[in-house]
Structure 1
Amino acid sequence: MTVNDDSFTNWKNREETAEAMIPIIGKLHRERDVTVLLHSRSLVNKSVVSILKTHRFARQIAGEELSVTETMPFLRALTTLDLGPSQIDIGMLAATHKADDQGLSVEEFTAQAVAGATGSNKIERREGRDVVLYGFGRIGRLVARLLIEKAGSGNGLRLRAIVVRGGGEQDIVKRASLLRRDSIHGQFQGTITVDEANSTIVANGNAIRVIYANDPSEVDYTAYGIKNAILIDNTGKWRDRAGLSLHLRPGIDKVVLTAPGKGDVPNIVHGVNHDTVKPDERILSCASCTTNAIVPPLKAMDDEYGVLRGHVETVHSFTNDQNLLDNYHKSERRGRSAPLNMVITETGAASAVAKALPDLKARITGSSIRVPVPDVSIAILNLQLAREASREEVLDYLRDVSLTSPLRRQIDFISAPDAVSSDFIGSRHASIVDAGALKVEGDNAILYLWYDNEFGYSCQVIRVVQHASGVEYPTFPAPAA
């Protein structure tokens, strides 16, 4: 048998194993509210090739490829346990078992590692929480996709309604079409039908009522059977407490803003300060995409090295508030053609750091340049550290943070030498450390952080909503503190 034959046989064997994983992952998700992860990447509703690629990607961060033959025994072990709602990372199970010196079998080790989700420790399934989207633009449609994807057994978040201004004939058909197809993020994964008579979009079995209103005061959500809901405002029209409080109508319990909040509105970056949200807080902000990109790595660097000062330069994709061609705009430079120019603009991300990281004493400044790409941005974080470090030390530290720390859902890591912006479309992390571009000299470190400013940010929004609604389930094995 030739090397080529060996390689192909190996591929077919791994393909067969991945095929066997799919029904197990699906059953755990539907029947027990268990989301199976691989190094923080969900394997729910993934294809055979996607599962294999996710395993292979582990080589980029862990240094060696992870095989489905290594993780499958842990997945099978999960099916023998009395699991409650949780997120379980089989990549972490395989890695920690390999490093464990207790001599436990896969079954014994798995039972020990996920003990917090079994038996008397498991949490009960919670009643589904209604969610309303106010606005249906770029972020609104991606958040809708994520909510539909995560509907699972029906015991989590349930997208019940979308509120928009009336757009004329066949408005709902056009909005459904925008949800179905996206020039950047591709086709919707599933089926979408439209019930025009009842003003409803049905996506993967989820009936979503489209409510037409010009102002929050026009809507009584209880009239649509909606109760105790979380409303996600992705219009950015109201950003202070007084404005966002207009959404607190019958049927709405909390409001989450997908833009930086003003005044005393808490700006939450999941993974960093989401645990500071008070149970009785009814109005929250998810800050900006750039704030979400820089705050987690900034916290990680401050925790380990101390940060005395910093500057962030964001090279940001153009957005809907810019013009396609030169035209009037209330902001001078943003009036110039977005697809044809690099445009210097302002960013509030640096000043927003203080809200998310109040214990950080360092002064952080920032500026931004909009560039002619439709999605994915990069933040260049230039830090003066409290102590000297080497490039290898910082790389090893950030790689470990991306794999095992409480920030592993926020910070990703890539060592591919030819990575470019389009490679990160669809990334679910708040930011991705580019290992090849990292620079460290003495007490100065420069981090290059990619981020999908649309989808990665939308994932952070969902995490905040899950936490605020009480349906954010614990992850096992627990990340290192």
Structure 2
Amino acid sequence: MSVIALNGLGRIGRLLVRRLAASRPGLLGAVNDPAPLDQLVHLLRYDSVHGPSDKPIEGFTEGGQDFLLLGDHRVPLFHATDPAEIHFPAPTRLVVEASGRFTRRADAARHLKAAVSHVLISAPSPDADFTVIAPVNGAGLDPQQHRVISNASCTAHATAPMLKILDEAFGLEHAGMSTVHVVTNDQRLLDLPHKDLRRARAAFKSIIPTTSSAFGALHRAMPDLPAAFDGVALRVPTLNVNLVDVVATLRRDAEVATVKAAYEAAAAGSWRNLVGLADPHVVSSDITGRAESVLMDLDLTMMLGPRFVKVFGWHDNETGYAARLCELVVDLAGRI
């Protein structure tokens, strides 16, 4: 199995390290992040949303080289800012690009040197070789052909099964989506210039309508979606867990009961562990820590006409996405 390296210890990068340290500790061969060792160790140990790490995490310097100690597994830590300047150890075949800075193919492909043959971007990319939402189009991922791969976004991974299950059960004529989305680090804590004038406003003061990268990723991964599929993101002053609101016009008549039954069957069958069912009366904080891509809140299902449906799904936008990323990393590492 190929050794992997990680570029970027942000929200998703740190959760990926935690998951790999717990499940596949020998797979992670190196990490790069420009931040100082002591700060990175502290942020890996403690998380304001997900709590302290289950595994001991230490940091040390030896012979001028920084290391992370994940349990008893030593991982060299580099501090380059440019992918071309990172010299990952020779066994490294796959780099997970999680910095958020290099989402275009040409930028991410700068990792493709020495033994590195593949790059997996932990975000939507406008021009990656392949955008994968594994349960939807994973069979089309060909490591021989696809060298720079995008794992889409947390919202795309939540929305894709919601749409796919509806389409398989009733057919989709038209569809749209809104996501009630937590704040992210690309917003301003206090009012400050930003190219998106709404994101320039204080993140914890207002509901902030903005765009979502999920729509492009969904169209790339699901080319049979209705052409006009689109929507909006409403950023709200919370730290974790999003709510996806899908509206669709169906090709066949449906009822609330039959729509619920379609999701219940999917959650118990082919979508097991990826699609879950939320308990009655939950709110967003109840979903923290759930690793499914989406948890359907079936009590909120509405039929606004015999073919006009509205469904809602929760997702822990960090835990769920990190789980899908980890699964894809393990899969790719075994195939390249």
Q: TM-score, normalised by structure 2?
A: 0.94
The structure that is helix-richer by fraction is: 1
Partners in 2 of 1:289 and 1:246 — Cα distance? Answer: 25
Distance 1:129 1:335, change over 3 A: same
RMSD between aligned residues: 1.7
Query: Is 2:259 the counterpart of 1:386?
Result: no
Which residue pairs with 1:342 in the alignment?
207
Which residue pairs with 1:248 in the alignment?
112
Measure how far apart 1:195 and its partner are: 1.8
Q: How does 1:419-430 map to 2 (within 5 A)?
A: 419-430=282-293
Secondary structure in 2 matching 1:221 = coil
Which residue pairs with 1:435 in the alignment?
298
Which residue pairs with 2:235 in the alignment?
370
Query: Is 2:271 the counterpart of 1:417?
Result: no
Partners in 2 of 1:350 and 1:269 — Cα distance? Answer: 13
Q: How does 1:297-312 map to 2 (within 5 A)?
A: 297-312=162-177
Secondary structure in 1 matching 2:113 = coil
CA displacement, residues 322-358 of structure 1 (integer Å, 9 cap, x when unaligned): 1111112222111111111110101132233221112
Query: Is 2:166 the counterpart of 1:293?
Result: no
Quick one: which of 35, 49, 53 aligns to 1:184? 49
Q: Is the 8 A contact 1:307 1:385 kept in 2?
A: yes
Partners in 2 of 1:330 and 1:274 — Cα distance? Answer: 35
Query: Is 2:309 the counterpart of 1:445?
Result: yes
Measure how far apart 1:469 and its partner are: 2.1
Distance 1:312 1:361, change over 3 A: closer
Partners in 1 of 2:162 and 2:174 — Cα distance? Answer: 14
Structure 1 counterpart of 2:29, one-letter code: R
Q: Is the 8 A contact 2:125 2:217 kept in 1?
A: no
Which residue pairs with 1:36 in the alignment?
none
Q: Is the 8 A contact 2:253 2:306 kept in 1?
A: yes
Which residue pairs with 2:196 in the alignment?
331
Structure 1 stretches lacking a partner, 5+ long: 1-127, 473-481
Which residue pairs with 1:31 in the alignment?
none
Which residue pairs with 1:139 in the alignment?
12
Distance 1:410 1:363, change over 3 A: farther
Which residue pairs with 1:68 in the alignment?
none
Q: Is the 8 A contact 2:94 2:119 kept in 1?
A: yes
Partners in 1 of 2:231 and 2:311 — Cα distance? Answer: 14
Partners in 1 of 2:213 and 2:24 — Cα distance? Answer: 34
Which residue pairs with 1:276 in the alignment?
140
Partners in 1 of 2:317 and 2:142 — Cα distance? Answer: 27
Query: Is 2:33 the counterpart of 1:164?
Result: yes
Q: Is the 8 A contact 2:143 2:335 kept in 1?
A: no
Q: How does 1:78-97 map to 2 (within 5 A)?
A: none
Q: How does 1:254-273 map to 2 (within 5 A)?
A: 254-273=118-137
Give the length in aligned residue pairs: 332
Q: Is the 8 A contact 2:22 2:55 kept in 1?
A: no
Secondary structure in 2 matching 1:375 = coil
Partners in 2 of 1:207 and 1:359 — Cα distance? Answer: 45
Partners in 1 of 2:93 and 2:285 — Cα distance? Answer: 36
Structure 2 counterpart of 1:149, one-letter code: A
Measure how far apart 1:470 and its partner are: 2.4
Q: Is the 8 A contact 2:3 2:333 kept in 1?
A: no
Query: Is 2:80 the counterpart of 1:213?
Result: yes
Partners in 1 of 2:213 and 2:308 — Cα distance? Answer: 24
CA displacement, residues 371-398 of structure 1 (integer Å, 9 cap, x when unaligned): 0001111110001111111111111220
| Greater RCO (CA < 8 Å, at least 6 residues apart) | 2
Partners in 1 of 2:124 and 2:86 — Cα distance? Answer: 25
Which residue pairs with 1:458 in the alignment?
322
Secondary structure in 2 matching 1:251 = coil
Quick one: which of 91, 110, 127 aligns to 1:227? 91
Aligned-residue sequence identity (percent) comes to 30
Quick one: which of 93, 97, 103 aligns to 1:239? 103
CA displacement, residues 302-333 of structure 1 (integer Å, 9 cap, x when unaligned): 11110001110111000011111111222211
Which residue pairs with 2:217 in the alignment?
352
Partners in 1 of 2:263 and 2:335 — Cα distance? Answer: 29
CA displacement, residues 97-146 of structure 1 (integer Å, 9 cap, x when unaligned): xxxxxxxxxxxxxxxxxxxxxxxxxxxxxxx4311110111111011111
Measure how far apart 1:471 and its partner are: 6.9
Structure 1 counterpart of 2:216, one-letter code: S
Secondary structure in 2 matching 1:382 = strand
Q: Is the 8 A contact 1:349 1:366 kept in 2?
A: no
Secondary structure in 2 matching 1:143 = helix
Distance 1:242 1:471, change over 3 A: closer
The structure that is strand-richer by fraction is: 2
Measure how far apart 1:267 and its partner are: 1.1
Measure how far apart 1:219 and its partner are: 2.2
Secondary structure in 2 matching 1:456 = helix
Q: Is the 8 A contact 1:308 1:362 kept in 2?
A: no
